[in-house]
Chains A and B, each alone.
Chain A
């Protein structure tokens, strides 16, 4: 199926469940609320025409500098091995309560990227079997890939966002 056909089909079947959809640079993209993501993922995996059996990637994004609501986003990339098409699901996450249900019951491959989201962004993955630090040490404080986590606490000689960073250095809690 082409990207346009995928988006059309999802709009007809699940029009109420998704927030919006688009074809972005040739890729089909749907926007889903965090409370709906598991249902949509189940539908995408089990629908015989869509058949998204392969989870390629899960990414977190922090849009702090762009000042938009909601602040966080989780992005899923799915492939269908049989049908050879792909989709991207973008899920907005609230700053106060970044909670999202796990999809690791559908695709086992989600176990690690979801743990990485917990580690690097501090998202709460509901229903995950082993939610603990993955890449950072167990006792680490803070979530390194959030935008308000400074790149370095030392003063740097050159930076693109020097002032922004120096404010953070003053207010930064001890990392360890």
Chain B
């Protein structure tokens, strides 16, 4: 604005700067985006992040490996087991140890339950942003059941820290397995219920089809991952491409989209809900018997019973609790497929019991520039739809 000779205010250009967030409910956390508006249309969008910066990567450099696991829960707080698994797989690769089959299956069950819970939160909030309130209540109902399952096995509803170095923290009980089985039988009818509300709903179609389009080449070039990449037609799922934790034993499909718009991302994620449920069903059916953690007392705690009779076990217990796991010198990176895409830890070890560098490859962080590119040229009302369709979690963006 400038003041003219007559003392009137004059607009220099026909655009308006609009601030959205960080306390806007549709930005899914503390994400702030500054929109340059031309009437109703977005000219450019500039993201501002860092409001939830917790310094976890820096803190991890002063904590022992075991102490980092609960912090990884807080990164992507909608699917903590995925982060635990990514961290544990990386450290286990440095330790060059392999976990027992039963532990792998329990890890898969936890990760897929978390994927379902995460996608339910996404569907709930995404639909609420666009104006479908009922879906929100329905999704929360089923998510509550998954959180109850979490509580039953790990004692905590959300920040489970169930996956530990060398296996899982404790074995599953027959009662818990039956609860999971009941949930798996109950869930498909509920997915149908969400789809009845949305998939052919004309309002939903109007608000999602051909909006926020990203082509196959763009999605790859902007480092999008997970359902966003698959909705653009790229068949890339690390569970299939780089099977980890026994995913090669499961039969499931990788849903992909064609147009790469918000609607395709919705379809891909709903299809993933069904596939995750299928994986859990297979895991329950084929769950092998055996130990739930490695039989190496340098990595996992000795059994409670042996502590009373074995001096060696007692020494190992003391050493492991007071000193922790010493990881051989080296550095490595293991990517896994989280609910939002490629989650991976790059860990540098200097040979001590404290990591020298822990870096999280966060799918939400990598998706933010691409997301702001999608906003260019769309209506302001669609901005919340685009943010919702990427499914960002600020805990892992700011770390």
Residues of A bordering B, CB below 8 Å? 24-25, 27, 53-57, 59, 61-63, 65-66, 75, 77, 81, 84, 88, 107-113, 133-137, 144-145, 147, 151, 159-161
Contacts and interface: CB of A to CB of B under 8 A. Distances in A.
Nearest to B354: A160
Interface stretch (B29-37, B262-270, B342-350): B342-350
Give the 6 A-B residue pairs with the shortest CB-CB distance, closest first. Answer: A109-B223, A135-B50, A57-B361, A59-B359, A108-B222, A59-B346
B220 A65 contact: no
B333 A55 contact: no
Contact of A134 (B49, B58, B61, B221): B49
Given A66-B350, A88-B333, A159-B62, A55 B223 contact: yes
A57 B221 CA distance: 13
A81 B242 CA distance: 12
Contacts of A109: 221-224, 366, 369-370
Contact of A57 (B49, B58, B332, B346): B346
Contacts of A66: 350, 356
B330 A24 contact: yes
12 contacts: A24-B330, A57-B359, A59-B359, A62-B357, A77-B333, A107-B223, A109-B221, A109-B224, A133-B50, A134-B49, A145-B57, A151-B61
Interface string B219-257: 011111000000000101000011000000000000000
A113 B223 CA distance: 11
Given A109-B224, A112-B369, A135-B53, 6 more contacts: A27-B332, A54-B220, A54-B223, A57-B366, A144-B55, A151-B62
A137 B398 CA distance: 12
Given A56-B223, A81-B236, A108-B222, A160 B53 contact: no
B260 interface: no
A56 B335 contact: yes
Contacts of B356: 61, 63, 65-66
B346 A25 contact: no
Contacts of A144: 55, 58
A129 B77 CA distance: 32
A25 B332 contact: yes
Interface of B: 49-50, 53, 55, 57-59, 61-62, 93-94, 96, 220-224, 234, 236, 241-242, 330-333, 335, 342, 344, 346, 348, 350, 354, 356-357, 359, 361, 365-366, 368-370, 398-399
A81 B221 CA distance: 11
A113 B367 CA distance: 11
A164 to B, nearest CB: 11
Given A53-B220, A62-B357, A66-B350, A112 B368 contact: yes
Contacts of B241: 84
A161 B222 contact: no
A136 B370 contact: no
A111 B369 contact: yes
Contacts of B335: 56, 77
A161 B62 contact: yes
A110 B62 CA distance: 28
Contacts of B357: 59, 61-62
**Most B Cβ at <10 Å: residue of A55, A57, A107:** A57
Nearest to B218: A108
Nearest to A57: B361
Given A112-B368, A135-B49, A137-B50, A57 B350 contact: no
B31 to A, nearest CB: 13
A112 B49 CA distance: 11
A107 B220 CA distance: 9
A56 B360 CA distance: 11
A97 to B, nearest CB: 22
A112 B366 contact: yes
A27 B333 contact: yes
A160 B50 contact: no
B368 A107 contact: no
B221 A107 contact: yes
Contacts of A145: 57-58
Contacts of A111: 369
A81 B220 contact: yes
A70 to B, nearest CB: 15
B234 A81 contact: yes
Contacts of A62: 357
Contacts of B55: 144
A23 B50 CA distance: 36
Nearest to B365: A112
